[in-house]
Amino acid sequence: MGKCIYVYCVAQEPFHLIEQGVFKADLHSLEHHGLRVLARTVSADDFLETKFQENVKNIQWLKHWALEHHEILAALVGVVTFLPFKFATVFHSEKNVVAMLDKHEVAMKEQLRKLSGKLEYGVKAWADDEAVRGYVTKVSPEVKAFDKEISISSPGKAFFLKKKRDITLEHEAQSFFEKHVRESMLCLASHTRENSLPAREMANGEGKNGLKADFLVEHPEKEIFLHELEAKKRSLRACGIHLECTGPWPPYNFADFSVQ
């Protein structure tokens, strides 16, 4: 059974958490030209070529390795500045790892300088559809005009007006949600170094659509960013829009780097 080198991330600072016994896995550090790779020796049967393609179809195997990969990187957040490697990035030998560091040394060090002293946060926005529609009903002149006309119309005419009113309300509610979320995201972005704006569409576990943005926040701006986020959460909650902040995360969205 052969062996290969699984790499988790690269940094310029020492990985003192190894010596402190924080990690469950048997990790070690490979150093070359001022760069340090957090690595582990694993079985080639798990990660190389066709074997890996078979293993990823095994949910339990994938869950174990993917979760461990994330947990190891998450433990480093705020401790060292690092570039995360993609899940299951492996090399045949330490010599190949060193060759990779030689090839990408300049790009890696530049990326590490960009990320130094910064944290990644994700902000998701969800709508309580009924609450948003209720709020828009109270403030929309067009919906109010429909309601007034419906109240004085014959049953037949009121029926068709109601259909038009519902279509208008649905459209305005969606526009209201997107407008206020994007405005809030832009406000949050003013307290960050980088961001993924405009917010991108996503779906939650219940199949409801929402918007998500990622932010790279400098340490001195962290408290201001989070304070502003809480203010936005309170104001949007009143009209049926909910914000959820997660993080800090490994810089998955701002480490613009690939070893390929």
Average pLDDT of the residues in 178-206: 77
Instruction: Look over the chain and give the mean of its residue pLDDT values, rounded to a whole number.
Output: 87
**pLDDT tens digits, 127-166:** 888 999 999 999 989 889 888 888 888 888 888 988 998 9
**Residue range of the domain that includes 53:** 3-116
User: What percent of the chain is modeled with pLDDT above 90?
Assistant: 50
- β-strands 241-249, 118-127: how paired? antiparallel
Q: Is residue 259 part of a domain?
A: no
Domain C-terminal end among 116, 148, 174: 116
Q: Are residues 99 and 167 in the same domain?
A: no
Domain C-terminal end among 50, 83, 116: 116
pLDDT bracket for residue 260 (50, 70, 90): low
13 φ/ψ angles, rounded to the nearest 5 degrees: -90, 155
Which residue, 37, 13, 40, 16, is CA-closest to 101?
37
pLDDT at position 207, please?
42
pLDDT bracket for residue 100 (50, 70, 90): very high
Q: Is the pLDDT of residue 176 over 60?
A: yes
Terminal-to-terminal C-alpha distance of the chain: 26
Average pLDDT of the residues in 200-204: 58
pLDDT at position 158, please?
87
The domain that contains 136 carries what CATH number?
3.30.70
pLDDT at position 231, please?
94
Q: Is the pLDDT of residue 208 over 70?
A: no
**pLDDT tens digits, 113-127:** 999 999 999 999 988
Spatial separation of the C-alpha atoms in residues 47 and 127, rounded to whole Å: 41
Q: Is residue 245 part of a domain?
A: yes
Q: Is the pLDDT of residue 205 over 50?
A: no
**pLDDT tens digits, 2-47:** 888 999 999 999 988 887 777 777 899 999 999 999 999 988 888 8
Q: Is residue 52 part of a domain?
A: yes
Average pLDDT of the residues in 173-187: 91
Q: Is the pLDDT of residue 112 over 80?
A: yes
pLDDT at position 1, please?
57
Q: Is residue 159 part of a domain?
A: yes
